[in-house]
Structure 1
Amino acid sequence: MRHMSATQVARLVDVDPGARPYYRALADGVRALIMDGRLPVRVRMPAERHLAETLQVSRTTVTSAYDLLRERGYLESRQGSGSWTALPDAATTADNPWLATGDDGLVQLQCAAPAATSALRTAMTEAVEDLPRYAMGNGYDPLGLPVLRERIAAYHTAKGLATRPEQIVVTTGAQHAIHLVLGLLIGAGDPVLVESPTYPHAIDVARRRAARIVPVGISHEGWQTDLVIGAMRQSGARLAYLMPDFQNPTGALMDDATRAAIVAAARRADTMLLVDETWTELALDDVPRTSPMGAFDTDSRVISVGSASKLWWGGLRIGWVRTTAALARRLAVFRSSVDLASPVLEQLVVARLFDRLEETRAERRRTLRASRDALVSELREHLPEWTFSVPRGGGTLWVRLGGGGATPLAEAALTHGVRLAPGPWFGLEGALEGYLRLPYTQPPLALADVVTRLRAARDHGPTGSARPADPLIAMV
């Protein structure tokens, strides 16, 4: 492990002596050095006393800066061993942009979830009328209510993938479904292939299982089949987590030829495929018809995850897993360590909403397309140096910044009233700093206001102290 002297750090850190508070400016300067690679990871920092003497500031000032860097995940310390540079763990850092309550007055642009569909009110009324017939039981069904499992099975069958209710497990959201599948099927040291960028909470689950994460890069143009297959084969991946339908955050849509090739490669490599279909119903333009990845499966290695959150409303907290009947039963037993069952009323609501699937698709297509087009127009007019490809579905733009980093921009945006999701939270080891995910799940006028604030944050930086995040995980 290399060592940096106080003189070397002071020479690298360009901090205005008049900056207030100075400790925050010093911490920001060190963090910027780490993020752009000028201060490598795993370098031992000078002792607080020595750096304070070199900078001619109080030791308390440097101590406060080091404390802030540790809190953000950019320093690690051990008693008697000093402090060394690090990159933050997205699951634990205090300035993680997923940490938000939604009631702090900020525009919650870290969250790519639309408001409830207009069909929700009627479905809830009908579900309340259905509820008394279920109240005589104990309300616990680890697999899910039969009526909802039947609806979900019929939904998959209509998409060309014959499915029985016994193959469905109802979960408390898609994130819960991912947690159950990874928790059951992978263990410490198992290689798990993920897209980069990808859904951050899937990375979090794999990390908690102490899995060896194998990233394979994708872009808005999609997947390079040979790279995915090569990574799967060379790593010996036990499981691969993929999002082929309007991938979050890039918006890419996988064609049938690529789906078939990846499933065939998984068969040869003996890799299980966990396919996240959360965004599959949100096509905003006319797109080529694609088949579910399970349609190419001949040996039951494709497990799919679905959710009510993007199509109907995230507040319902209902998701599901489609797999074999045997694995569905194992998942139901395994979930007892997390919860016993999903709420009955919410399951009844979603069962009723499946009867309104077509009208909801049309509503989402109309509203999200208007918001997408408004955001695209505003960005092209006011931030033309930011580049992106317009996705044909989903709910997010994956934006390449024209300069500077996404993390400092996100911090500056906080003081302009916007909470952002910078690129590194969608990757590994601090990668993707030049990218920003911008959802278009809010109304057009709200997004126009957001772009105005983002331009101010880019041009002028912070206007004051950023508001701290409340330690609650927000759904994305």
Structure 2
Amino acid sequence: MSPALPDAPRWTALLRGWRDHPGPLHGRLQAQLRAAIERGELAPAERLPAERPLAALLGVSRATVVTAYDELTADGWLIRRVGSGTRVSAGAPRAAPLLTLRTPVGSAAGAAPDLDFTIAVPLLTDPQRERLRRASQHAFGESVYHPHGLPELRALLAELYTKDGLPTRAEQIVVTSGAQQAIALSAATLLRRGDVALLETPTYFGAIDVMRAAGAQLVGVPVEGSGLQPDTFMRLATAHAPRLAFLTPTFQNPTGTVLPARARERLAAFVQDRALPTLEDDTLLDLGFTDEPPPPRISVYAPQAPIINVGSLSKLYWAGLRVGWMRLPPALAAPLAQAKTLADFGGSLMAQHAALQLLADLPGLRRERRAAVTPARDLLAGLLHAELPEWHFEVPRGGQFLWVQLPTPDASRLTHHAAAHGLRLFPGASMGVSPLPDRYLRLPFTLDPARLPEAVTRLKAAWVSFQSRDGQGGLA
């Protein structure tokens, strides 16, 4: 068995989609590495992995990696020396440094379509498309900017928060381009380079990316069977004095856990006492599978605490709508509202008019989403139990993911085997703020149910290939 590659999740993210390039395998790998150097994701003098561990990660022969490295060296992109390994050449074209984003991206242009388990977005049906067309028909009556959002939409969102036990005025609502913009604006406004951000681990990769981009030092609070432990959160917050925290208490991404009410109450009291700005991600809150409501938001227990609630229609209805929002606490309202104004002068009025009409029947949206997702969840869970019984997971009470534990310490390596079978996977270790065991996959059940059997067939084939290839990837 080849030695494991250090920081395999990072190299998995950096080389994601490398097979999409045309030509022989060594040429595809060469193109991906060259592009990473050009973009600034690999810095001058940075060391590349040794050939055998990289070949094992990608599921290719050592000769493929050696040939790619040799050709990049001949072209001046790399330097190879005995004893010091393979490094990016100081003379290689330089670009402004870029992060290696954990956030998955789509296939390269012209690439054959894969079955994609990396992005979780709801399918849009023909009746839903027609509803969107009807809902946006009133969007053409004005041509003004609403930097903080359509007034009627802000008023409706404030009313919905108030009904849920969190008294809210319309002035506290800022409409954003999806929840991601809300998270990014909060991080950019509240963090400075070197500040500490406290996040669950594992957690949503988009939050990891934006806080790393802000220059923050990330500290992870482990997520266990019922979510994070308040005592651990408080201990780490006391030790590291974070300037921002990020929590997903309801149907946590990716584990699906739901934080109990008592834990929420204790966190709310601590956040209020320490005046710790905290993002409470509610984007999955509406995706429950039973009639039993989740516990109240953390902010309900401390309405004046510096807690920013973030919501979105992307998971509940359609990601293409790009309508999200922030419910701002008084202490943070001014800087965050100004940041939104400076970012774009306001979002699409057509999308906001559509959101206004859709949210007028929020209970109906929830029922419709549950009816669509529950059968897909059960189908995927049943297929995995039947075809891959050695894989373990809990069926969640809500959300849109299965958090699957594999009997191998090399899940990142498996994702590259799966790519050769036309299946895109995302290693769970890439969702870690601090290093996680490389034993998990996040599998969304938002893929077209008609394609789930084929997806699991490919997944099983990739697993069999992974286990048998040179004796690698066997049971740990």
TM-score of the pair, normalised by structure 2: 0.78
Shift in Å, 1:241: 0.1
Return the match for 1:259 from 258, 264, 270: 264
1:77 correspondence with 2:87: yes
AA matched with 2:87: S
Name the structure 2 match of 1:382. Answer: 387
Return the match for 2:70 from 60, 63, 66: 63
Structure 1 pair 79/126, CA: closer, same or farther in 2 (3 Å)?
Answer: closer
Deviations 1:392-442 (A, max 9, x none): 000001111112522121111112111111112211355342110000012
Higher mean C-alpha deviation, range 392-401 or range 284-293: 284-293
Shift in Å, 1:287: 3.7
Return the match for 2:54 from 28, 31, 35: 31
Name the structure 2 match of 1:105. Answer: 113
CA contact (8 A) 1:233 1:269 kept: no
CA contact (8 A) 1:287 1:392 kept: no
Could you say what secondary structure the match of 2:361 adopts?
Answer: helix
The 2-side partners of 1:379 and 1:59 are apart by 37
AA matched with 2:134: E
Matches within 5 A, 1:190-269: 190-269=195-274
CA contact (8 A) 2:57 2:413 kept: no
Return the match for 2:454 from 431, 449, 459: 449
Structure 1 pair 293/61, CA: closer, same or farther in 2 (3 Å)?
Answer: closer
Structure 1 pair 64/253, CA: closer, same or farther in 2 (3 Å)?
Answer: farther
Name the structure 1 match of 2:43. Answer: none
Name the structure 1 match of 2:155. Answer: 150
Deviations 1:189-224 (A, max 9, x none): 111100000001111111111111110110343222
Return the match for 2:139 from 131, 134, 156: 131
Shift in Å, 1:97: 6.8
The 2-side partners of 1:402 and 1:59 are apart by 30
Deviations 1:51-76 (A, max 9, x none): xxxx9999856435889xx99xxx98
1:114 correspondence with 2:116: no
Structure 1 pair 12/325, CA: closer, same or farther in 2 (3 Å)?
Answer: closer
AA matched with 2:104: W
Structure 1 pair 64/391, CA: closer, same or farther in 2 (3 Å)?
Answer: farther
CA contact (8 A) 2:299 2:307 kept: yes
Higher mean C-alpha deviation, range 223-232 or range 22-31: 22-31
The 2-side partners of 1:308 and 1:58 are apart by 43
Deviations 1:258-310 (A, max 9, x none): 11111112223331111000000000134454111111115331110000101
AA matched with 1:63: D
Over the aligned positions, Cα root-mean-square deviation in angstroms equals 3.5
Return the match for 2:288 from 271, 283, 292: 283
Shift in Å, 1:144: 0.3
Higher mean C-alpha deviation, range 268-277 or range 177-186: 268-277
The 1-side partners of 2:54 and 2:67 are apart by 19
Structure 1 pair 65/449, CA: closer, same or farther in 2 (3 Å)?
Answer: farther
The 2-side partners of 1:183 and 1:56 are apart by 44
Name the structure 1 match of 2:17. Answer: none
- Indicate the percent of aligned positions where both proteins have the same amino acid: 34
Name the structure 1 match of 2:178. Answer: 173
Return the match for 1:440 from 441, 445, 450: 445
The 2-side partners of 1:59 and 1:314 are apart by 41
AA matched with 2:317: W
Could you say what secondary structure the match of 2:288 adopts?
Answer: coil
Return the match for 2:168 from 163, 188, 202: 163
Deviations 1:447-470 (A, max 9, x none): 22211110101112499xxxxxxx
Shift in Å, 1:184: 0.8
CA contact (8 A) 1:198 1:427 kept: yes
Unaligned runs of 5+ in 2: 6-23, 31-48, 79-84, 92-96, 469-476
Name the structure 2 match of 1:393. Answer: 398
Name the structure 1 match of 2:358. Answer: 353
Structure 1 pair 311/22, CA: closer, same or farther in 2 (3 Å)?
Answer: closer
CA contact (8 A) 1:238 1:270 kept: no
Name the structure 2 match of 1:340. Answer: 345
Name the structure 2 match of 1:297. Answer: 302
CA contact (8 A) 1:27 1:65 kept: no
Structure 1 pair 289/204, CA: closer, same or farther in 2 (3 Å)?
Answer: closer
How many corresponding residue pairs? 413
Name the structure 2 match of 1:458. Answer: 463
CA contact (8 A) 2:2 2:53 kept: no
AA matched with 1:292: R
Structure 1 pair 370/123, CA: closer, same or farther in 2 (3 Å)?
Answer: same
Could you say what secondary structure the match of 1:304 adopts?
Answer: strand
CA contact (8 A) 1:27 1:66 kept: no
Could you say what secondary structure the match of 1:130 adopts?
Answer: coil
TM-score of the pair, normalised by structure 1: 0.78
The 2-side partners of 1:192 and 1:414 are apart by 33
The 1-side partners of 2:286 and 2:25 are apart by 48
AA matched with 1:405: D
Name the structure 2 match of 1:43. Answer: none
AA matched with 1:29: R
